[in-house]
Structure 1
Amino acid sequence: MGYMINLKIVKWKQIKLGSGLSQLMGFNSIFDQEIIILYRGSQITSCGEYKNGKKVGRWDILYFDEVIGGGSYEIYDDIQDSVKNGKWIDLGDGLQQWKQLIFNGYYQNGQKVGTWEKMKTDKNKLEEGFIKIKELKYD
């Protein structure tokens, strides 16, 4: 199930849009798609499910139609927001068509734990995919 929404960007700048795109557009669905970042040369979306206004289950981060990141959200009680849990691939700031930065690791109750890999692509070596450039340690 999906909806085609056409957006025209007149002036290029980084913008962040909040959740509830389907509510804004008048759809009633537990599945939602957020446009999370628009950069010159790229469009990133995040797709997943809401339950009582909170992200739950698997959320994928897509570059156009290709999954490039994401992970799972869990709800522990009705008071708090949902939190990231388990294996995640997070995006770095400043994602562009020819330069991408991701962080690969684990969350436990919304906190980064263990060793995370910082990875990037190089515009001159796109066919090589992501290469590890650094390891980050979290307690």
Structure 2
Amino acid sequence: MMLENMLIIEEEKMEIFIQGLRNEVEIIIKMEQKMIIGLITYNGKYRNGKKIGMWVQCLRQNGYQSFQEIGEKQVSQIQWIILKWLQNWYMEYIDGIGWYDERGSKHGKWVELDENSARESQITYQGEYNNGQKVGLWNLYWSDLIKNKN
């Protein structure tokens, strides 16, 4: 089924929903990607196959949440697995947060997690994008989560 012909209504809090019109598709999405180390969640909007507006990406360790797969959809070259939340959602680590312009390019202020940093010692970068390119100085922040736990 093509996305243009589809309308999935949000039935529960924290579930994906897709709105389709004839020539314009806007997907408001909460996407989970299963990984060995945990679950990566993306929250944001697509319009005509491009990311727009504010997006939040977070990483969570396995074991805190269970999900039920309710379907799969093909968007561009990406296969999205649509999952339904079975318990209350619990976000543990932010992976990235920022804005996409109408062309789907990163734009404005962003916070990104270093992909190579350990879970307990997160390194984040804060700076700006212009037309999908990093510009200016980027600040590096380090957080030792082991020290901060009670």
CA RMSD of aligned residues (A): 2.5
Q: TM-score, normalised by structure 1?
A: 0.58
- The aligned counterpart of 1:74 is 101
**Structure 1 runs (4+) greater than 6 angstroms displaced:** none
Q: TM-score, normalised by structure 2?
A: 0.55
Aligned residues of 1:60 and 1:67 also touching (Cα < 8 A)? no
- The aligned counterpart of 1:31 is 28
- The aligned counterpart of 2:83 is none
The runs of 5 or more residues in structure 1 that have no matched partner are: 4-21, 77-81, 128-139
Aligned residues of 2:98 and 2:108 also touching (Cα < 8 A)? yes
1:59 deviation in Å?
0.3
Aligned residues of 2:52 and 2:99 also touching (Cα < 8 A)? yes
How many aligned residue pairs are there?
99
Distance 1:112 1:36, change over 3 A: farther
- The aligned counterpart of 1:116 is 138
Query: CA–CA distance in 2 between the matches of 1:123 and 1:91?
Result: 14
Query: CA–CA distance in 2 between the matches of 1:117 and 1:31?
Result: 30
Distance 1:39 1:92, change over 3 A: farther
The runs of 5 or more residues in structure 2 that have no matched partner are: 1-9, 20-26, 61-90
- The aligned counterpart of 2:42 is 46
1:105 aligns with 2:127: yes
Distance 1:105 1:97, change over 3 A: same
Distance 1:72 1:37, change over 3 A: farther
- Aligned-residue sequence identity (percent) comes to 34
Query: CA–CA distance in 1 between the matches of 2:128 and 2:34?
Result: 23
AA partner of residue 112 (structure 1): K
Answer 1 or 2: higher relative contact order, Cα 8 Å, separation at least 6: 2
1:120 deviation in Å?
1.9
Distance 1:39 1:125, change over 3 A: farther
